Structure formats: C-alpha cells, structure tokens
Amino acid sequence: MGDLHRPPAVPLHVIVVAGGEGHRARTGGDEAPKQFQLVGGRLLLLRGLDAFLSSPGTASVTVAATPAWQVVVREALTAATTLPTAVCDGGATRTASTGNAAEALQHAIAPHDGDLVAVHDAARPWVTAELVGRLAAAAAAHGGAVPGVEVTDTIVALGDADAVLYLPRDGLRALQTPQIFRWRPFLEAHRWARATGASFTDDGGLLAARGLPPALVPGDPGNRKITTAEDLAAARARAGERT
C-alpha cells in the first residue's frame, strides 16, 4: 500500500470559497468579513492556504470573493505565492460560488481531466499538510475524498408533529473542508448544478447526487471553522500561542 500521507504526483488546483459576509463573527458593523480579518498578523484567508502553498503538488489557486474584496484578495495572493491565480465573483449559494470558481479556473488554467481540485473554506485556517495529503491520495484513487470527524453531540432528526428520531452517533460524521476531487467530473457536476439550479451544502453532496460519492477519510478535530466572534477570538489566541 502507498503512503497515504504523501500527495500523489498529480497537480492539485485549489479553490477557496471566500464570498460570505461572516456576520456572526463581527462585533461591529464596519468590520471586515472574518476571512479578511487578521489572525496572528495575517489574513485568515491566507492561513487557510498555508498547507497548500507549502505542497510541491499545488498548481494554482482560485478564490471566489465579493467584488468589494477582490483587490484585497489579489494583493494577498501576489504577496503569498508565485503560482498562477484567479479571482472571481461569489454566488448566491455555496454551490454557485464554487461553480463560478470552477469556470474561472477552467478559463484561466484549463486543468487536465485527471488533475485534482481542492475546495476549501476561507474560514478554516488550521488545515494541515498531512490532511491535504490524505485527501489527495484518496481522491486520486477513488475520484473524490472528504474529511469527516466523529460527532460528539446527540443528533436527532425531526419527524411529524415535532417527534424526533434519535440517530446513532457511531454512524455519523461531521464533514470538513478541504474536499478534493478529480477535475473533469467536478467541473461537469457543477455545470449540471448551474443548469438545473441545484444547490448543496458541500461539494461532496453534489458529486454524490451525480452518482459519484466521495471516499471518507479521517478529518482533523483541530481543523475548526470560524463562525462566531468567539471562534475568531479563540483563533487569535491560538495564533498567539504559535508565534
């Protein structure tokens, strides 16, 4: 068996979804969205890219952002990497934003069909090179891979008349990003979603709906998403501990 911690020799194109307004992480109306706030002296957006930019397999970076922040994104990418980059508008939904980025990547870089593409949330600053390596290896072998962590809370499904159905935790996983897929099926799935108006909460769900369910690999509990102002404060404390 090959080393699943080492990325395969396949180019990896990175898409970062950074179009949200991040209202729950703001403490004032004039604050920047969370992905453009500083954590340990660096943009949160760039911290989430570190693991990719340090990998020799990374071939390009594409960021979906609102027009008001695209100059900031371009300046940040220019300072951070010499890789080919592209910036595009976000969309009304998560699927639309990623679809816009996929088309921008196709126009700017035109990846080969067998290349890999990673989709990552700008609000997850702590992704590791080890996790990227596991995902890339699994995606190269299976066509797609998503990271999942064990669920610690009790989860119920809502039924009729406010009844609840208790779900066994052993069979549940909370999914994270990055998620990595083979390029051609990923692009075709997003073109189908655009044509039909379909929307999903992540790209693994989109590929599964097209009959291409991704492999599940162990995620990283430390790969936390910044959602609230408290999360942002905790990230700044964590960054301070590392400096």
HEC readout, the chain: CCCCCCCCCCCEEEEEECCCCCHHHCCCCCCCCHHHCEECCEEHHHHCCHHHHCCCCEEEEEEEECHHHHHHHHHHHHHHCCCCEEEEECCCCHHHHHHHHHHHHHHHCCCCCCCEEEEEECCCCCCCHHHHHHHHHHHHHHCEEEEEEECCCCEEEECHHHCEEEECHHHCEEECCCEEEEHHHHHHHHHHHHHHCCCCCCHHHHHHHCCCCCEEEECCCCCCCCCCHHHHHHHHHHHHHHC
Cβ atoms of residues 231 and 29 within 8 Å: no
Average pLDDT of the chain to the nearest whole number: 91
Q: Give the residue among 226, 190, 231 at the shortest CA–CA distance from 209.
A: 190
Per-residue confidence (pLDDT) for residue 6, from 0 to 100: 47
What's the CA dihedral at 16, 21, 25, 28 to 10 degrees?
140
Cα separation, 109 vs 186, in Å, equals: 15
Does position 218 have pLDDT exceeding 90, yes or no? Answer: yes
Strands 12-17 and 173-175: unpaired
The stretch 221-240 carries a mean pLDDT of: 93
138 Cβ partners below 8 Å, 6+ apart? 4, 145, 180, 215, 217
Per-residue confidence (pLDDT) for residue 46, from 0 to 100: 96
- How sure is the predictor about 150, in pLDDT bands with cuts at 50, 70 and 90? very high
Task: Please tell me which of 14-23, 151-160, 171-180, 227-236 the model is most confident about, judged by mean pLDDT.
Answer: 171-180
Per-residue confidence (pLDDT) for residue 31, from 0 to 100: 75
pLDDT tens digits for 162-171?
Answer: 899 999 999 9
- How sure is the predictor about 25, in pLDDT bands with cuts at 50, 70 and 90? very low
The stretch 28-39 carries a mean pLDDT of: 81
Q: In one letter, which amino acid is 7?
A: P
At which residue do the structure tokens 């959602």 appear?
227
Per-residue confidence (pLDDT) for residue 243, from 0 to 100: 42
Helix pair 94-108, 183-196: axis angle to 10 deg: 130
Does position 4 have pLDDT exceeding 50, yes or no? Answer: no
Cβ atoms of residues 179 and 144 within 8 Å: yes
Does position 237 have pLDDT exceeding 90, yes or no? Answer: yes
Per-residue confidence (pLDDT) for residue 160, from 0 to 100: 83
Does position 1 have pLDDT exceeding 90, yes or no? Answer: no
- The CATH homologous superfamily of the domain defined by 12-242: Spore Coat Polysaccharide Biosynthesis Protein SpsA; Chain A (3.90.550.10)
The stretch 43-47 carries a mean pLDDT of: 95
pLDDT tens digits for 123-146?
Answer: 999 999 999 999 999 999 999 999
In the chain, domain spans: 12-242
pLDDT tens digits for 65-119?
Answer: 999 999 999 999 999 999 999 999 999 999 999 999 999 999 999 999 999 999 9
Cβ atoms of residues 98 and 190 within 8 Å: yes
Per-residue confidence (pLDDT) for residue 3, from 0 to 100: 46
Q: Give the residue among 54, 29, 225 at the shortest CA–CA distance from 125.
A: 225
Q: What percent of the chain has pLDDT above 90? A: 84
